[in-house]
Amino acid sequence: MLATAPLPSNFAVAYNETMARGWESKSIEAQIEATNSSPSTHKERSAPTAGQIQDQIRKANLQLSRSRILQQLQASSNERYSELLRRSLADLDGQLAAE
């Protein structure tokens, strides 16, 4: 059996640090390449137009009105008022279906 001289205690640490830096730089390089190659996906998704934003706001308002009317209908004890709320609810449902 060959006798080997013991390695200095800092040898393993120094070796691993250089290897870690090498792998780290490869990882960073891969991240940079991925970032540079993916802007096309960001360009395909454009910001919504003013008309689309208005449509989204209108739909959200209709849904909020519908939930408010449902709450009022559940709490109502007056039959005529409940009938008015049911007609309003049907109208809102029609508007939401048309969206």
**Type of residue numbered 26:** K
Q: Which domain holds residue 68?
A: 49-99
Residue 22's pLDDT is what?
Answer: 57
* C-beta separation of 82 from 76 below 8 A: yes
Whether 89 has a pLDDT exceeding 90, the answer reads: yes
What is the total residue count of the chain?
A: 99
Who has greater pLDDT, 12 or 72?
Answer: 72
* Same domain for 35 and 79: no
- pLDDT tens-digit profile of 21-75? 555 666 777 777 877 776 555 556 788 899 999 999 999 999 999 999 999 999 9
Question: Tokens in use for 17?
Answer: 């640090």
73 shares a domain with 36? no
Cβ–Cβ < 8 Å for 90, 66 = no
Q: What band does 80 get if pLDDT is binned at 50, 70 and 90?
A: very high
Does residue 53 fall inside a structural domain?
yes
* 56 and 99 share one domain: yes
pTM exceeds cut of 0.95: no
In a domain, 63, yes or no: yes
Q: Is the same domain home to 68 and 93?
A: yes
Tokens of 91: 């109208």
Q: Is residue 4 part of a domain?
A: no
62-68, long-range: CB < 8 A, 24+ apart: 62/92, 62/95, 62/96, 62/99, 63/96, 65/92, 66/92, 66/93, 66/96
Q: Do 35 and 66 fall into the same domain? A: no
* 98 in a structural domain: yes
- Counting the structural domains of the chain, the total is 2
What pLDDT is stored for residue 61 in this prediction? 95
